[in-house]
Amino acid sequence: MDAATDTTLIVGLGNPGLQYRYTRHNAGFMVAQALAEKLDINLKRVKFRCQFGEGKPDGTPLIIAKPLTYMNESGSAVSSLLHYFKVPLERLLVIHDDLDLPLGVLRLRSGGGSAGQRGVQSITDKLGTSAFPRLRFGIGRPPGRMDPADYVLEKFRPAEQELLRMTLDQAGLAALCFVREGLEKAMNQYNGEVG
């Protein structure tokens, strides 16, 4: 078996730039960064308009990446990394924010539509398939008549910080479970509410 087929690629979606750093749309970046720090993987390499690092937790080759493109152009970075490192589609995990789930809820899926998430749509368009695992990180719906486009670019409120921290921790554990034990086990263990 080709050693490269053992490699897992975890991609956290977000927008580059300090002004977006702690916004709802950057939940994927936050999970990727927290997981990288936990595993002592330095995300200092830059290639294909992507910031990434490599490690071998438990001997399993792992790449954690954050595209440096804006959200709606994530597909080119993800596609390039996937092909360069010869990672099979089933070993790709895309982590992204999801308006349809409340904060504190995670959903792992083997594929499906983008539900309007432009980063996921960009990846689908570039790969020519939507059949790739993803971890949906709930951020909740905007209040009242607020435009979702404005809402996702807002920072998490102070009252949400504790639940956010717990959800980031849980999402990191879910991603690690995916790496070590596969999607099915991760879905069974981590789909649902945090806590």
Of the candidates 7, 20, 24, 25, the residue annotated as catalytic is 25
Q: How many domains does the chain have?
A: 1
- Which pLDDT score, from 0 to 100, does residue 2 have? 47
| Mean pLDDT (whole number) for 40-44 | 95
Residues 6+ apart with CB under 8 A from 31: 12, 95, 135, 137, 168, 171, 172, 175
Give yes or no for a contact between 8 and 61, defined as CB atoms under 8 angstroms apart: yes
Question: Which three-class secondary structure state does DSSP give residue 125?
Answer: helix
For the chain, the first-to-last Cα distance in angstroms comes to 39
Distance (Å, whole) CA 13 – CA 43: 14
- Which pLDDT score, from 0 to 100, does residue 77 have? 95
> Is 25 a residue of the active site?
yes
Q: Domain range holding 127?
A: 3-193
**Is the pLDDT reported for residue 44 higher than 70?**
yes
- Determine how many CB atoms are found less than 10 A away from the CB of residue 28: 30
Question: Which three-class secondary structure state does DSSP give residue 163?
Answer: helix
| Mean pLDDT (whole number) for 175-181 | 95
Domain containing residue 122: CATH number: 3.40.50.1470
Distance (Å, whole) CA 147 – CA 188: 34
| Mean pLDDT (whole number) for 155-160 | 94
